Amino acid sequence: MKDNVASTVVLMLLLFLNIRLLNGESPPGKPTIFKCRSPEKETFTCWWRPGTDGGLPTNYTLTYHKEGETITHECPDYKTSGPNSCYFSKKHTSIWTIYIMTVNATNKMGSNISDPRYVDVTYIVEPDPPENLTLEVKQPEDRKPYLWIKWFPPTLVDVRSGWLTLQYEIRLKPEKAAEWETHFAGQQTQFKILSLYPGQKYLVQVHCKPDHGFWSNWSQESSIQIPSDSPLSGTSHHRLKSYSPRKISGHGRPQPAVFTKAKLIMAQE
């Protein structure tokens, strides 16, 4: 009798499951944590891509623990950085600590879990773009005229205390040109360029990166018209080797520096 009851229960469960599957309902697909970013080495956010929802309302939770600890924590803030994200404020951020995190997806048909993501805040810094990019053609009496470029570090980054050191890269081109010329500015927030073409409108952008991290997005474009009657027209186009900074690969390993020829001169004022 007991065996018959057990068999009946199993058959009913299988029937229920088959009905669910026929209706297109299933456990959720596997989510993926695809990016973690800190704008200033004090806070950070991780984002994930949901898998399929199985045709049912699906709940996502991010849980983590710090390397060497056994206590598991849930994401402290799902709202600040938008959908499918977890934001860690200064209160929840520790430097030189590895966070091991996963995202759990659950619906009425079952659950799924992402592969673990290992995060060290020191190595995921991607600052905001530099701000207040300004351009000016200067024509000193005793020197050749030049284009003077200035900018400010991102507001969130504390560069005065040395907590984060930024390096900058500039790119510029005539408005109708297809390719940008890119030049390394080091840690300075100003840059001097000689030998531009008179009568051309130039577009300029700047971006930055920390010592251990990734390049920011490029800043908004600024533009300037080089006067046609500028003494720049009498300036020969000097050719120098300009230094391009070492790029940081997706694995955090620096790539070799390269040197390229350019029609520019870089100098501090």
Q: What is the pLDDT of residues 73-82, one digit of tens each?
A: 999 999 999 9
Q: Indicate whether 115 and 164 sit together in one domain.
A: no
Q: Indicate whether 103 and 30 sit together in one domain.
A: yes
227: alpha, beta or left, given left = phi > 0 and alpha = psi -120 to 50?
A: beta
> 8 or 94: whose pLDDT is higher?
94
Confidence category of residue 7, pLDDT binned at 50, 70, 90? low
Evaluate whether residue 240 is within a structural domain. yes
- pTM reported for the whole predicted model: 0.73
Q: Indicate whether 236 and 137 sit together in one domain.
A: yes
Cα–Cα distance measured from residue 112 to residue 174, given in angstroms and rounded to the nearest whole number: 52
Neighbour count for residue 84 (Cβ, 10 Å):
17
Residue type at 216? S
Instruction: Tell me how many domains the chain contains.
Output: 2
Q: Indicate whether 193 and 119 sit together in one domain.
A: no
Neighbour count for residue 253 (Cβ, 10 Å):
9
Evaluate whether residue 267 is within a structural domain. no
What is the percent of the chain where pLDDT is above 90? 66
Evaluate whether residue 83 is within a structural domain. yes
Tell me what pLDDT residue 58 has.
96
Q: Indicate whether 213 and 233 sit together in one domain.
A: yes
Confidence category of residue 6, pLDDT binned at 50, 70, 90? low
- The domain of 140 spans 131-262
* Position 16 pLDDT exceeds 70: no
List pLDDT tens digits, range 225-238. Answer: 988 865 544 443 33
Q: Indicate whether 14 and 116 sit together in one domain.
A: yes
Domain containing 66 — which CATH number? 2.60.40.10
Residue with tokens 């984002």: 47
Q: Indicate whether 99 and 214 sit together in one domain.
A: no
Cα–Cα distance measured from residue 223 to residue 147, given in angstroms and rounded to the nearest whole number: 11
The mean-pLDDT minimum among 32-36, 123-127, 139-143 falls in 139-143
Evaluate whether residue 90 is within a structural domain. yes
Domain end marker among 75, 107, 123: 123
Q: Indicate whether 156 and 93 sit together in one domain.
A: no
How wide is the angle at C-alpha 98 spanned by C-alphas 92 and 103, nearest 5°?
75
List pLDDT tens digits, range 187-227. Answer: 999 999 988 888 899 999 999 999 889 999 999 999 999 88
Evaluate whether residue 186 is within a structural domain. yes
Beta strands in 109-145 (DSSP E): 110-113, 117-120, 131-138
Q: Indicate whether 136 and 252 sit together in one domain.
A: yes
* Tokens (6 digits) for 182: 């890119």
> 69 or 142: whose pLDDT is higher?
69
The mean-pLDDT minimum among 88-92, 154-158, 161-165, 207-211 falls in 161-165
Q: Is the dihedral of CA 193, 197, 199, 202 positive or negative?
A: negative
How wide is the angle at C-alpha 220 spanned by C-alphas 215 and 221, nearest 5°?
115
Radius of gyration of the chain (CA): 27
Mean model confidence pLDDT for the chain: 82
* Tokens (6 digits) for 89: 């404020």
* Position 144 pLDDT exceeds 50: yes
Nearest alpha-carbon partner for 224 in 267, 181, 173, 264: 173
Domain end marker among 106, 123, 140: 123
Evaluate whether residue 269 is within a structural domain. no
Q: Indicate whether 163 and 104 sit together in one domain.
A: no
Cβ proximity of 169 and 258 under 8 Å: no
Domain end marker among 79, 107, 123: 123
Q: Which helix (H) or strand (E) holds 4?
A: helix 2-22
